[in-house]
């Protein structure tokens, strides 16, 4: 077959690339803190120097979407991997303060699970409200019911009677709001009838070792039961202090450059 009679090659077609919806999703404070902790681990293991760490940490606190957070840890393996036993011991021993969070390697759950009897196993509100927050011990079975009322259950500083906890929420023309820390193992099973029963954002977050398992179930009739992850007050203070420290360091650096 002569070159003139050969059929022309069809142009290559590339598959259509769709934008990553997840990358455009707004990042939460808990997710920013998870990335910051990953960076601290990388600094402790010698994968990042101090300049790289501070640059990425500042970008983490400024990030508004998941797409801005992912590149900051894309080149970092999971903490503790690819290290020889001797190197791992040396890294953890030399920088234990930076590598381990203030709550300890197990997330601080060891002294908060099964250490005492429940201080509360239920709550009820009719034309009023109830609140369970701060330092309290949740029973293995906790039942909350509201009728034309509201209730607040905050588990961020709570202790737990057992490793497995079931929280039953019943809302009739009212609402119950459940706040949980980002490292708690949570499963939501309830349903709503002319109402809502569910979580705000991603409730299945990164679970800390030793964390109890909490199942939130029940129903809402012409009302709502909401589950939301929030940082602990101690974590908020730590983030605030870290931002302040970075700001002061940058200010001092600018003044030093001006003096030069």
Number of H helices, E strands in the chain: 6, 12
pLDDT band with cut points at 50, 70 and 90 for residue 80: very low
Residue 254 to residue 257: CA distance in whole angstroms: 5
* Residues 160 and 218 both lie in one domain: yes
Bridging pattern class, strands 159-160 and 224-229? unpaired
For residue 110, what is the DSSP state?
G
Residue 167 to residue 178: CA distance in whole angstroms: 10
* Residues 210 and 121 both lie in one domain: yes
* Residues 73 and 121 both lie in one domain: no
The region that residue 107 occupies, defined by phi over 0 for left and psi between -120 and 50 for alpha, beta otherwise, is left
Domain-embedded: residue 4: no
* Residues 177 and 155 both lie in one domain: yes
Domain-embedded: residue 47: yes
Residue 255 to residue 49: CA distance in whole angstroms: 23
Mean pLDDT of 137-145: 96
Q: How many domains does the chain have?
A: 2
Which pTM was predicted?
A: 0.58
Which two structure tokens, joined as six digits, stand for 175? Answer: 């609402």
Does position 123 have pLDDT exceeding 70, yes or no?
yes
For residue 132, the model assigns a pLDDT of: 95
Domain that holds residue 52: 22-100
- Encode pLDDT of 82-99 as tens digits: 444 343 333 334 333 433
* Residues 143 and 218 both lie in one domain: yes
Domain-embedded: residue 240: no
Domain-embedded: residue 247: no
Residue 74 to residue 154: CA distance in whole angstroms: 34
């Amino acid at each position: 077959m002569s070159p003139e009679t050969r059929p022309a090659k069809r142009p290559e077609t590339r598959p259509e690339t769709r934008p990553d919806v997840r990358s455009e999703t707004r990042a939460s404070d808990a997710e920013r803190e998870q990335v910051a902790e990953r960076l601290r681990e990388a600094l402790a293991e010698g994968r990042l120097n101090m300049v790289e760490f501070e640059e990425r940490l500042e970008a983490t606190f400024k990030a508004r979407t998941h797409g801005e957070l992912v590149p900051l840890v894309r080149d970092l393996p999971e903490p503790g991997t690819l290290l020889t036993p001797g190197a791992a011991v040396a890294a953890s021993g030399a920088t234990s303060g930076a590598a381990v969070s203030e709550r300890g390697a197990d997330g601080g759950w060891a002294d908060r699970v099964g250490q005492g009897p429940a201080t509360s196993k239920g709550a009820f509100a009719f034309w009023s409200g109830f609140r369970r927050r701060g330092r309290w011990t949740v029973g293995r079975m906790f039942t909350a019911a509201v009728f034309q009322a509201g209730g607040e259950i905050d588990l961020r500083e709570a202790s737990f009677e057992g490793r497995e906890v079931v929280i039953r929420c019943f809302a009739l023309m009212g609402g119950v709001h459940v706040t949980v820390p980002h490292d708690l193992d949570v499963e939501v099973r309830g349903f709503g009838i002319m109402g809502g029963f569910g979580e705000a954002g991603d409730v299945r977050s990164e679970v800390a070792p030793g964390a109890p398992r909490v199942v939130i179930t029940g129903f809402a009739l012409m009302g709502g039961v909401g589950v939301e992850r929030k940082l602990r007050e101690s974590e908020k203070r730590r983030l605030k202090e870290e931002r302040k420290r970075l700001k002061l360091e940058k200010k001092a650096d600018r003044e030093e450059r001006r003096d030069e």
